[in-house]
Structure 1
Amino acid sequence: MSCLFPVMIFLTLAISKMIEVPIIKRYDFILIICLAVQILLVVFKIETMDEVKVIFVFHLIGLALELYKVHMGSWAYPEEAVTKVFGVPLYSGFMYASVASYMCQAWRRLELRLVNWPSTWLVLLLSAVIYFNFYTHHFIYDFRWILGGLVLVVFYKTFVYFTVNQKTHAMPLSLSFVLIGFFIWVAENIATFFGAWQYPNQQQQWEIVHVGKISSWLLLVMISFMIVALLKHLKENRTHENIKQETIEKSAK
């Protein structure tokens, strides 16, 4: 259930690749399906409005990164579409949003709880530096491995507790970053196979995505999780403050 949004995107990519959709361009069709799925997830209360707000933030972050990376020639979207801006189809933002959707859903369904979470200012600073490294590495040194090492240092005491079948398990948060990054790399291979986008070495025929891309996804997962965790913590603190204020008002009456 937590992976419902990403699965729907994969199905749409696969079906639209194998079966030509009449009248409408493929990328435009994918965007319509993504929008419809997002609406249905809210209508059927599979996603909450708070989760949609988080997903929207990731849509914007992902779209900005897509515009830059396509401009720099890191990858391309070769097919024509009406909903294509500076070479980037608008559905691309939903691929980043689907990662946020998974994290929000998993957080709620698995009752995630973090122990020994670092200082908020440190997490914000680290997230910002990792994100901007995706832009700056085209001009200066690529700090991805150094940043990855810093994340391991910052979060080496942090554990995530999650519940499956009424049993609570624990995992080092850094390990969860690695595992999610690996499975997104697997998903990326599936997505490029179905023509979601193309790397330069895939223009003539499809090839497996270089294993080094796992490091990029690892950093992206770190950013995603840190943003979701911060928003969750802010919401919890706001809720606690509201409860505290209501208690004080009742006592005063």
Structure 2
Amino acid sequence: MRALKQLIHFGWEQALSCIFPVVIFSSLAITQMLPLPFLPRYDWLLIICLLMQWWMVHSGLETKDELKVITMFHLIGLALEIFKVHMGSWSYPEEGYVKIFGVPLYSGFMYASVAKLSLSSVAEIEG
């Protein structure tokens, strides 16, 4: 019975850790299909990511220390995207007000979302 409880708890924690990536990748798909007013798509994606991150900290799903680590993953991911775009691996052709060297700022959140999954798995296994 204890093993079943642990399995259910682990599954629940993993599902919670998937919230951020699901929001990001759903937003990528939805904003591709539905036109959004006032701002370019890339800027809307940044706003969505920032609001989601704010909600996760204020709801208690993420601590401020976790936010610091995730921010580092975001910055590393953004640097990798800048490098990849500079090397010609791909580009971000759509318009956006909030771009650095042709890379929209939301792109680092994709790396951070993968880090969230990894960190929660490690924390759950160690805990």
**TM-score, normalised on structure 1?**
0.43
2:119 match? 104
Larger Rg: 1
CA contact (8 A) 1:47 1:105 kept: no
Q: Offset of 1:68 from its aligned partner?
A: 0.9
Matches within 5 A, 1:140-159: none
CA contact (8 A) 1:77 1:87 kept: yes
Give distance in 2, aligned partners of 1:53 and 1:8: 20
Matches within 5 A, 1:83-122: 83-108=98-123, 111-113=124-126
CA contact (8 A) 1:83 1:90 kept: yes
Q: Offset of 1:101 from its aligned partner?
A: 1.2
2:4 match? none
Aligned-residue RMSD, C-alpha: 1.3
1:78 match? 93
The structure carrying a bigger strand percent of its residues is 1
Deviations 1:143-202 (CA, angstroms, capped at 9, x unpaired): xxxxxxxxxxxxxxxxxxx9xxxxxxxxxxxxxxxxxxxxxxxxxxxxxxxxxxxxxxxx
Is residue 23 from structure 1 mapped to residue 47 from structure 2 by the alignment? no
Is residue 5 from structure 1 mapped to residue 28 from structure 2 by the alignment? no
Give distance in 2, aligned partners of 1:98 and 1:52: 11
Q: Offset of 1:105 from its aligned partner?
A: 2.4
2:7 match? none
Q: Offset of 1:104 from its aligned partner?
A: 2.1
Give distance in 1, aligned partners of 2:55 and 2:114: 18
Give distance in 2, aligned partners of 1:57 and 1:65: 12
2:11 match? none
Count of residues paired in the alignment: 112
Q: Offset of 1:107 from its aligned partner?
A: 2.9
**TM-score, normalised on structure 2?**
0.84
Amino acid of the residue matched to residue 93 of structure 1?
G
The structure carrying a bigger helix percent of its residues is 2
Gap runs ≥5 in structure 2: 1-15
Q: Offset of 1:49 from its aligned partner?
A: 1.2
Amino acid of the residue matched to residue 61 of structure 1?
I
Larger RCO: Structure 1 or Structure 2 (Cα < 8 Å, ≥ 6 residues apart)? 2
Q: Percent identity?
A: 59
Amino acid of the residue matched to residue 112 of structure 1?
I
2:54 match? 39
Q: Which runs of 4+ in 1 moved over 4 A?
A: none
Amino acid of the residue matched to residue 125 of structure 2?
L
Gap runs ≥5 in structure 1: 114-161, 163-253
Give distance in 1, aligned partners of 2:122 and 2:23: 20
Give distance in 1, aligned partners of 2:75 and 2:51: 18
Deviations 1:34-91 (CA, angstroms, capped at 9, x unpaired): 0000000000000111111110110111111111110010111110100011110000
SS in 2 for 1:112: helix
Amino acid of the residue matched to residue 40 of structure 1?
W
